[in-house]
Structure 1
Amino acid sequence: MAEQPPPREDLAARLPPTGTYRLQLHSDFGFAEASALVPYLHRLGVSHLYLSPVLQAVAGSQHGYDVVDHSRINTELGGEAGLVELADKAHAYGLGVLVDMVPNHMALVAPLSTNRPLWEVLRHGRSASTAHWFDVDWDHVGGRFPLPLLGETPAEAIAAGTLALDRTGGPAGEPVLRYHEHIFPLADGTRNDGDTATDVAAMLDKQHYLLACWREKDDVLAYRRFFDVDGLVGVRVEQQDVFDATHEKLVDLHRRGVIDGFRIDHPDGLFDPQGYLEQLDAATGGAWVVVEKILEGDELLPTSWPTAGTTGYDALRAVQQSLVQPTSAALEEVWDDARRGVSTDLVSVELRAKREVLAGLLQPELRRLTRVAVQAATEAGEQVEPSAMSAALTELLVAMDVYRAYVRLDHPVDDESAGRLRAAVERAHLTRPDLTAQLVTLERLLLDAFATSAAGRDLIVRFQQTCGPVMAKGVEDTTFYRWFELVALSEVGGDPGTVEEPSVSTLHSWAAQQAAQHPTGMTTLSTHDTKRSEDVRARLLAAAGDADAWRAAWQPIRAAADRLGVDRPTAYLVLQTLVGTWPIELERLAEYLVKATREAKRRTTWVDPAADYESRVVDLARTVSENPALRNVVTGLIAA
């Protein structure tokens, strides 16, 4: 006999959430599959289903953060009818439904025609009705939308025949330019029927977009991205009509009682996070909302934000720090040996990593920011050299120790935001005293919240939007793959330095602050973004408590690494990964180690992978997994 749901509770009884269960939806696990789990989740004691993004995403998306159409619920998941059925069943069991919302960006991937607002911009350029949707520096490449996604130059692609006219390849059967899986619209009156390279080149020159090789992106790319992801283009939800168009469907579902609350993805990328949350609060009539906000050190979530709190990375850090055991001479001996050839100072590693990502991955953002800063200074009556301004911006971005300083246009700057920015300026000055004049100019411009200059206002916002990518790519995605004292602490929102001073006081302080300011906010130990699950991290923290066994395990692993030509920091990562995840399939382990070494960007990278080095790292993992003596080292440490 089918299980009968309990008596239905009303909406008020379902809020606030007391225990969420996140479901990662995709084409093989949609609303119907989620619905089948509802009775089990009810028995488990969950109060709310916590759904990954549900709007129409790129075909085959495994995560849903690459939205292409805000007006539809993802058909691959079951469409709007499927979502309503899932919500009805959840509500019948007394469970609420929370949905992940992605306001910061949309997908820019093949086929581009699935993103209709973007397709209109590519076809009509700056005159398109949706041109204001996207954060683009139109003047950078002569009023055209830059698309550095070719594998070669346009001339080479045309000569090879890979970039050509497709007479019926458009979404409505219209002519387009085609490059492999990519199609590009033709502006009105620009089509010709010739097939020669000259004909195609002539057509391409008349379009509202500029095609380029991906290796030219530093010079060409001029739209705001999500971090360094070219395929996610920034959306300007600060424009009221853009907000309305991108939120109408989910707000309506909330109004109808289908959705009970929201998780907001990456608010720090927005023009004005507080202003956005106020818009959302007004549109939903005060929905329960949490924000994906990473707090650093003693940073607190602004109390002026209309939100229940964060998604819980601050809780993760506090709980985890309380489980760190005091270090010993034996453990420090292992660390010193494993760090051979790399810096022994975490702060130095972080600063270097930030500089590297600004010099590489985030060059388009730095160059655009420099152009804006030079213009803002000029409009303020100051002449600065672009190279000096770029250097000053680099030092200031490196010195920022939070994901954003919340300076709001046309609002007085609060003391905390001003203090954080001034402290960063001082740190940058100590590093580069030769840039004092430029740093003083930047400090004045960045704190002038009532600026009337268009460039000055743009600088204030764009600088803050760039801080997050520098922190994320420099710390989370580089430093945390280089610093291996105890990898359980190298986590999103975490602080590996806490291993030096373990304490439960942080947990007590966090709990008191949370109870006072955000009692209905979320806590978490694992998310889709954490590098390791909580059980892996807990095992590593426990195993590290037996320092003598840890040292005994490291010695044979180190010897094997030396024989195979694997550097010791990476060998130490291999050891900890095996201890935390054992037993693990070699294929999955190899995929992770390749990712980790590429993210570290020391001996191999995503752009220029070093196959021989990666092979040696995988060979080390295979050797430890398959050699009985070495395998016993790992299992023995776990058992201890």
Structure 2
Amino acid sequence: MPEAGPPPIPRATYRLQFHEGFRFSDAAALAPYLARLGISHVYASPYLKARPGSSHGYDIVDHGRLNPELGDEAAFRAMVAAFRENGLGQVLDFVPNHMGVGGADNPWWLDVLEWGPDSDYAGWFDIDWDPDRRYLQGKLLVPFLGEQYGAVLEAGQIELRFDPEEGGFAVWAYGTHKLPICPLHYERVLGHEHPELERLGDAFSGLPNWRPRVHARARDLQAELAGLVRERQDVREAVEAAVARLNGRPGRLETWRDLDALIREQNWRTAHFRVAADDINYRRFFNINELAGLRMELPELFDHAHRFVFSLLEDGTLEGLRIDHVDGLLDPKGYLQRLREAAPRPFYLVVEKILSRHEALREDWPVQGTTGYEFANLVLGLLVDPAGEEGFSRTYAEFIRGAEPFAETVRDCKLRIMLNEMASELNTLARDAARVGRQNPRTADFTRNILQRALKEIVACFPVYRTYVDGTVSPTEADRRDIDWAIAQARRNETDLDPSVFDFLHRLLTTDLVAEPRSGFSRHSVVRFAMRVQQYSGPVMAKGLEDTAFYRYNRFVALNEVGGHPDHFGVSLPAFHKANAQRAQRWPHAMLGTSTHDTKRGEDTRARLAVLSEMPEDWARQVQTWSRILRARRGDVEGTAPPDRNDEYLFYQLLLGAWPAELTGAGMPEAAALRDFAGRMEGAMVKSMREAKRHTTWAAPNTAYEEGMLGFLREALDPSRSGAFLEAFLPFQERVARLGFRNGLVQTALKLTLPGMPDIYQGCELWDLSLVDPDNRRPVDYDLRRRVLEELDTALARDRRAAMLGMLEGWHDGRAKLALTATLLAHRRARPALFAEGGYEPLAATGAKADQLCAFLRSSGEERLLVVASRFPARHEADPAWGDTAVDAPLPAGAGAWRDLLTGRSLGGGTLTAEAVLADLPVALLVPETARGG
């Protein structure tokens, strides 16, 4: 039984991305720095065994082992010891939804390929062994080939090999993907040319007589074969000859017929990767063929997959888990409940969950909260001036010469995903819906085609990633609301369909079909279908919204963030305070993140871009000027040559947002200084264009169009060719960056003081001006950060105010952000109850510029922290006087003044004028100061 008591709650986490270039030993060496910075827990990316060369760890192939590319067991234990010596706990990113497949590293997957439906693991992967495609009956599609199967076979890139260690045969594609031959067919390989091979071949053919020990008997025979090959040269030569007889000669397809015949009898069918869109018969992570979905609802699989992680929880190595892609699971709530019940002790638990604007995290989930996507967008929204929306919309529409509403873009993108990359899953759902319909005469005439059209439109109209109907209780009000909405919208869009099909699907998705006894429908079939649709709608939303629409709708890309809502321009102060108050009440320990490995832009890139919302007219003039200069130089005055106007508009925003701080305000840069940045921009633009899927895609790159965009980019960033552009660009860039860093400080202060548990993404204690991954996973210069932190400690101890003012003046190096981070982390360490349990009280500002001030009070017992932050730095620059703007902040009993944690200044109680409290910095962090200076 798990231990009773509350779970340990981290004070603050620091995300580390493990990969071959950042190993357990590297993390161990960081422990003293992280402890000095003030965090309590390392938040580790997945470090269980993954596919070789994995840069992220989400393609796990063995839940029971550490990733050997990160170090051995001794290195891992040394890291754990280093963390403990420095007072650091661990939260691990755990992946229950899927595993890495392909290659030759996943033993479960290889066993399924070898034995098909008879494999002990066949039910662990979410495989449809009874698809409509007759050629896949009882087979698993393996769509890993880069060309058509016949072309790859003819080229000799598919060949049979013998494994002398295991005594097994397998087909290898490209020398990378192992496709085992079923032992039942070994006789065809071994032949009759050698007596020992003939004897063993006959024994392999007789395996069915060994039920239920077929697999064990096969392993015995394979071991015997391996022993003979190892001990006898004649057997070894005979096996080599047998393999050679089946392998053909490259370039002559007819010589590969025997191997092709053997392949046709296997439990797998290998194919071109594009075949997956139509015929895939296993659930994937989104549309990634190399990530196969797991049926984690199975108790045996759950126990096996969590055994090692539970051992790390039991011995105290881990104190928390972050559950990746919880919406991919068949039953997220059931999984989380089982996780709590089966774990050996209480632990901190957060889930990666993207919430729609109207959606709340389910309160019956036994978690501390989400990983903070909604917080990142909330705090950015506070920095976006809603007054700029009309101007931005007009400029965007005029520049790209027409723009459709965001909602239409999302729907179109979701439909495109369902018609292309995820068509097979939709076909399967329509088939299953038709099978349910045929269970009752009233619905027996709904054809698969009709149901597929209706389902496609319903999923395209879903306002959330998924619902959580599970058949155990009646659907919640929230689930009914979202299903009702999707059905209603679909009815309006698909008027050619008889309304009765939507009535049927409505009752099917809500499970109302079996709400009454003697319905005529199988309860199991209905509930299973509703839950499978939920597993489908999430990936469609993710691929359609995050990975397509976010790269097409470029009105203001600071808002195009995971969990964001690009059609909602800014967050009002009342809405901001309401969201924080609700978190304080319901999810006080939810993770607060502003940068993650998944964010489209770095936190300070977004904070800088937020400044543009305050100057839509200036922005409009600038982009028109830049475009005229660059296109005129290319002889494209009409603006019709690549890139298209939408990609060009994105380019300017990324250029402005990510321009390196060290190159800001330093005059015309040298070409060499821009080379690294230009390379980063090229990577971001190629990814953006391919994700948008308008002119080019990952599957079919349009190199001519891409080179047109990249040529445009290279010219813009070459001082010798585009001096006129840079002369026009740099002054505006310097102004936006100088104002944007103030937003960056406010964003950091809010993350570290609002209700919740803050996370710092690796390296983001200094400026994070990154672009989309892999740019945001670049190596971090920790030697620099160690040195800066030591220097800061000395400077702040000498004279806090002078040091902070100096850092404000020299903002380019990011020291001000690190000083702010370290100061607040130290305060969190000194006052843990204030942040873990403290209340949240919004404070309304008064005066002419009240909307430019965000203030709130955190309190616990006698402890207080008053936060006052400035919004809209461009407005403040244009009119610096705060006038009568003030915040009413009475001092608690026994306090003589407020003291600013950042500068050490003392301020009187009662009414605090903005002029006084924000005289030095864009944010003030005030604590009560007693007569003794406490």
Place the TM-score, normalised by the shorter chain, in its bin: over 0.9
Q: 1:172 aligns with which of 163, 166, 170?
A: 166
Work out whether 1:33 is the aligned partner of 2:30.
no
Work out whether 1:55 is the aligned partner of 2:14.
no
Displacement of 1:502 in angstroms is 4.5
How many Å separate the matches in 1 of 2:23 and 2:157?
37
Residues 638 and 104 of structure 1: CA distance in aligned 2, closer, same or farther (over 3 Å)? same
Work out whether 1:184 is the aligned partner of 2:246.
no
Q: Which residue of 2 aligns with 1:478?
A: 548
CA contact (8 A) 1:158 1:200 kept: no
CA contact (8 A) 1:354 1:473 kept: yes
**More off after superposition, 272-281 vs 410-419:** 410-419
Q: Which residue of 1 aligns with 2:415?
A: 355
Displacement of 1:330 in angstroms is 4.9
Q: 1:205 aligns with which of 256, 261, 264?
A: 264
Work out whether 1:123 is the aligned partner of 2:184.
no
Q: Which residue of 2 aligns with 1:144?
A: 139
Displacement of 1:332 in angstroms is 4.2
Q: How does 1:232-631 map to 2 (within 5 A)?
A: 232-284=291-343, 285-325=345-385, 326-327=387-388, 330-343=391-404, 345-381=405-441, 382-383=443-444, 384-435=446-497, 436-448=499-511, 452-499=522-569, 502-559=571-628, 560-561=630-631, 562-563=636-637, 564-583=641-660, 585-626=677-718, 627-631=722-726
Q: Secondary structure at the match of 2:154?
A: helix
Encode CA deviations 1:456-508: one digit per residue, 9 max, x unaligned: 23211110001111111111111110111110000000011122x65233321
Taking only aligned residues, the RMSD between alpha carbons, in angstroms, comes to: 1.9
Encode CA deviations 1:85-116: one digit per residue, 9 max, x unaligned: 222221222221000000000011212xx111
Structure 1: give runs of 5+ residues left out of the alignment: 1-10
CA contact (8 A) 1:74 1:80 kept: no
Q: Secondary structure at the match of 2:568?
A: helix
What is the aligned-residue identity percentage?
Answer: 36
Encode CA deviations 1:20-78: one digit per residue, 9 max, x unaligned: 11000011211110011111111111111000001100111110000001110111112
Structure 2: give runs of 5+ residues left out of the alignment: 190-241, 247-254, 515-520, 661-675, 736-934
How many Å separate the matches in 1 of 2:275 and 2:620?
47
How many Å separate the matches in 1 of 2:295 and 2:165?
26
CA contact (8 A) 2:5 2:346 kept: no
CA contact (8 A) 1:99 1:259 kept: yes
Report the number of matched residues: 625
Residues 304 and 121 of structure 1: CA distance in aligned 2, closer, same or farther (over 3 Å)? same
Q: Secondary structure at the match of 1:477?
A: helix
Q: Secondary structure at the match of 1:70?
A: strand
Residues 442 and 242 of structure 1: CA distance in aligned 2, closer, same or farther (over 3 Å)? same
How many Å separate the matches in 2 of 1:329 and 1:402?
27
Displacement of 1:224 in angstroms is 0.3
Residues 415 and 328 of structure 1: CA distance in aligned 2, closer, same or farther (over 3 Å)? closer
Encode CA deviations 1:583-623: one digit per residue, 9 max, x unaligned: 36211111110110110111111111111111111122222
How many Å separate the matches in 2 of 1:13 and 1:474?
39
CA contact (8 A) 1:110 1:182 kept: yes
Q: Which TM-score applies when normalising by structure 2?
A: 0.65
Q: Which residue of 1 aligns with 2:727?
A: 632
Q: Which residue of 1 aligns with 2:59?
A: 66
CA contact (8 A) 1:372 1:458 kept: no
Q: Which residue of 2 aligns with 1:3?
A: none
How many Å separate the matches in 2 of 1:489 and 1:470?
20
Q: Which amino acid aligns with 2:683?
A: E
CA contact (8 A) 1:225 1:233 kept: yes
How many Å separate the matches in 2 of 1:482 and 1:30?
37
Q: Secondary structure at the match of 2:144?
A: strand
How many Å separate the matches in 1 of 2:278 and 2:612?
48
How many Å separate the matches in 1 of 2:6 and 2:481?
42
Residues 218 and 336 of structure 1: CA distance in aligned 2, closer, same or farther (over 3 Å)? closer
How many Å separate the matches in 2 of 1:286 and 1:434?
54
**More off after superposition, 560-569 vs 222-231:** 560-569
CA contact (8 A) 1:379 1:453 kept: no
Q: Which TM-score applies when normalising by structure 1?
A: 0.94
Q: Which amino acid aligns with 2:313?
A: H
Q: Secondary structure at the match of 2:438?
A: helix
Displacement of 1:173 in angstroms is 5.2
Displacement of 1:527 in angstroms is 0.4
**More off after superposition, 579-588 vs 470-479:** 579-588
Displacement of 1:419 in angstroms is 1.7
Q: Which amino acid aligns with 1:338?
A: F
Q: Secondary structure at the match of 1:49?
A: strand
Encode CA deviations 1:503-533: one digit per residue, 9 max, x unaligned: 2333212101111111011011110000001
Q: Which amino acid aligns with 1:486?
A: F
Displacement of 1:13 in angstroms is 11
Residues 91 and 12 of structure 1: CA distance in aligned 2, closer, same or farther (over 3 Å)? farther
Q: How does 1:146-161 map to 2 (within 5 A)?
A: 146-161=141-156
How many Å separate the matches in 2 of 1:120 and 1:565?
49
How many Å separate the matches in 2 of 1:28 and 1:332?
43
How many Å separate the matches in 2 of 1:35 and 1:14?
25
Displacement of 1:248 in angstroms is 0.4
Displacement of 1:217 in angstroms is 2.0
CA contact (8 A) 2:439 2:522 kept: no
How many Å separate the matches in 2 of 1:151 and 1:466?
26
Encode CA deviations 1:393-437: one digit per residue, 9 max, x unaligned: 100001101111110122221111112111211111111133322
Encode CA deviations 1:242-290: one digit per residue, 9 max, x unaligned: 0011110001110110111000000100010000001111122332100
CA contact (8 A) 1:291 1:307 kept: yes
Q: Which residue of 1 aligns with 2:738?
A: none
Residues 238 and 572 of structure 1: CA distance in aligned 2, closer, same or farther (over 3 Å)? same
Displacement of 1:308 in angstroms is 0.2
Encode CA deviations 1:222-257: one digit per residue, 9 max, x unaligned: 100000100000011100000011110001110110
Residues 144 and 331 of structure 1: CA distance in aligned 2, closer, same or farther (over 3 Å)? closer
How many Å separate the matches in 1 of 2:70 and 2:642?
47
Residues 540 and 144 of structure 1: CA distance in aligned 2, closer, same or farther (over 3 Å)? same
